[in-house]
Amino acid sequence: MGSLQTRYMGITLANPIIAGASDLTSNIDSIKRIEEAGAGAVVLKSLFEEQIQLERFKLEEELNTGSELYGEMASIFPKLQHAGAKEHLMWVKKSRAAVKIPVFASLNAVARATWVEYARQLADQGVDGLELNFFATPRDFDLGGAAIEEEQLETVREVRTALKIPIAVKLSVFYANPLNVIGRFDREGVNGFVLFNRFFQPDINTETESIAQPFNFSIQADNRLPLRFAGLLYGKVKADVCASTGIVSGMDVVKMLLAGASAVQVVTAFYRNGMKSIATMKDEVGRWMDGRSYATIDAFRGKLSAVKAKDPWAYTRAQYAKMLLGPKEFTESVTT
Ligand SMILES: Cc1cc2nc3c(=O)[nH]c(=O)nc-3n(C[C@H](O)[C@H](O)[C@H](O)COP(=O)(O)O)c2cc1C
């Protein structure tokens, strides 16, 4: 079988399948199982600003337990009473030591000072890289997109300056022009982009007339969005691209590599099908490569990217117009 080796964030991975940040990567036993199952790397569950702030509040416990904000945080994050930032940092260090595959930490902060301080602290735990999990849902009518982008850019710049290890940005697609934002982050020296962050949307329970926060897994068709952007970014950014969301099968992995990604992150498929799906996916990729005599991933990576694809319209508006105006073929997917 050809070699599944790849490079992501400048680091060599034995294969391109990375276990993405989730509750499956939030304890050492499960991380060991992920390694045993054959993943190329693992992204640890994120450290959240709320954990950091809650711990700070706990330090001033007497003063703050009655405060509204403390009450709100403790009700949203009851478990965090026992999992503050310090505990998370210790766990990150132990997780790094527990396995041999590359281990990436993940941070989801709000304040710039927190981003930089905790990026440093996570890096100090010996991880191989750090994923910055940018999550910005609009709430403020007065805050323009440019200001949000500038703040994120400054955060990336400061974290990049503060850290020696590789950093990746896991970002949303909800920018007017994600390519422009990614290009600017790239010029700051980001080593990887995770396409894309998954936002969990609220729902409404019509029976109780209340807001619900259901937990939805992704579906396979969701992977067309990272596919498009992996295809657009190949050859245009220095950083390695990691496609994420809706990657379920070995052929999904092959598609992302053909578009130009260096690796993929998987969560939902591991919840649904168990860790054994890592071996299945690797086997499917390997057999597909053998069938075409590809000895390495680099032999075909990016072959169907925007810069290399034979169809010059594949990633453009012409594709949109052709799809909607031309004869229609209704298929769920080209391959499953
Ligand atoms: C239970 C659960 C917990 C998650 N926790 C995190 C997290 O801590 N940090 C993060 O960046 N993403 C988190 N995610 C999002 C995943 O890393 C991933 O981006 C998303 O599930 C899409 O990938 P998938 O389609 O393979 O599930 C979580 C997802 C799930 C299902």
Find all residues with CB under 8 Å of 84, minimum gap 6, and list them: 51, 52, 54, 55, 58
**Average pLDDT of span 165-176:** 96
CB atoms within 10 A of CB 336: 9
Q: Do the Cβ atoms of 195 and 241 come closer than 8 Å?
A: yes
User: How many whole angstroms separate alpha carbon 239 and alpha carbon 9?
Assistant: 7
Structure tokens at 332: 């769920």
Q: How open is the CA angle 24-202-171, to the nearest 5 degrees?
A: 60
Which has the higher per-residue pLDDT, 286 or 330?
A: 286
Query: Which one of 18, 22, 88 would you pick to mutate in the ligand 1 pocket, going by the greatest count of ligand atoms within 8 A of its CB?
Result: 22
DSSP 13: E
Position 5 confidence tier, pLDDT thresholds 50, 70, 90? very high
Q: Whose CA is nearest to atom 25 of ligand 1?
A: 245
Q: Is 216 in the pocket of ligand 1 (CB under 6 A)?
A: no
Query: Among residues 165, 110, 167, 103, which one has the least CA distance to residue 135?
Result: 110
Residue 68 has pLDDT above 60, yes or no: no
pLDDT at 96: 98
Position 67 confidence tier, pLDDT thresholds 50, 70, 90? low
Q: Is 249 in the pocket of ligand 1 (CB under 6 A)?
A: no
Convert the pLDDT of each residue in 227-284 to its tens digit.
Answer: 999 999 999 999 999 999 999 999 999 999 999 999 999 999 999 999 999 999 999 9
**Average pLDDT of span 64-92:** 66
User: How many whole angstroms separate alpha carbon 164 and alpha carbon 269?
Assistant: 33
Name the strand (E) or helix (H) holding 29: helix 28-36
Position 89 confidence tier, pLDDT thresholds 50, 70, 90? very high
User: How many whole angstroms separate alpha carbon 288 and alpha carbon 284?
Assistant: 6
User: How many whole angstroms separate alpha carbon 71 and alpha carbon 24?
Assistant: 28
pLDDT at 81: 47
**Average pLDDT of span 86-96:** 96
Q: Is 96 in the pocket of ligand 1 (CB under 6 A)?
A: no
Q: Is 20 in the pocket of ligand 1 (CB under 6 A)?
A: yes
Q: Which fold has domain 6-302?
A: TIM Barrel (3.20.20)
Position 315 confidence tier, pLDDT thresholds 50, 70, 90? confident
The ranges assigned to domains in the chain are 6-302
Q: Do the Cβ atoms of 306 and 232 come closer than 8 Å?
A: yes
Residue 82 has pLDDT above 50, yes or no: no
End-to-end Cα separation, the chain, in angstroms: 22
20 Cα: distance to centroid of ligand 1 (angstroms): 6
Q: Is 268 in the pocket of ligand 1 (CB under 6 A)?
A: yes
The secondary structure of 287-304 as a DSSP string is HHHHHTT--SGGGTTTTT
Q: Which atom of ligand 1 is nearest to the CA of 131?
A: 11
Position 198 confidence tier, pLDDT thresholds 50, 70, 90? confident
Residue 137 has pLDDT above 90, yes or no: no
Q: Is 106 in the pocket of ligand 1 (CB under 6 A)?
A: yes
Q: Do the Cβ atoms of 259 and 234 come closer than 8 Å?
A: yes
Q: Whose CA is nearest to atom 10 of ligand 1?
A: 21
CB atoms within 10 A of CB 219: 11
Q: How open is the CA angle 192-193-195, to the nearest 5 degrees?
A: 150
Position 60 confidence tier, pLDDT thresholds 50, 70, 90? low
240 Cα: distance to centroid of ligand 1 (angstroms): 20
DSSP 202: P
**Average pLDDT of span 290-316:** 92
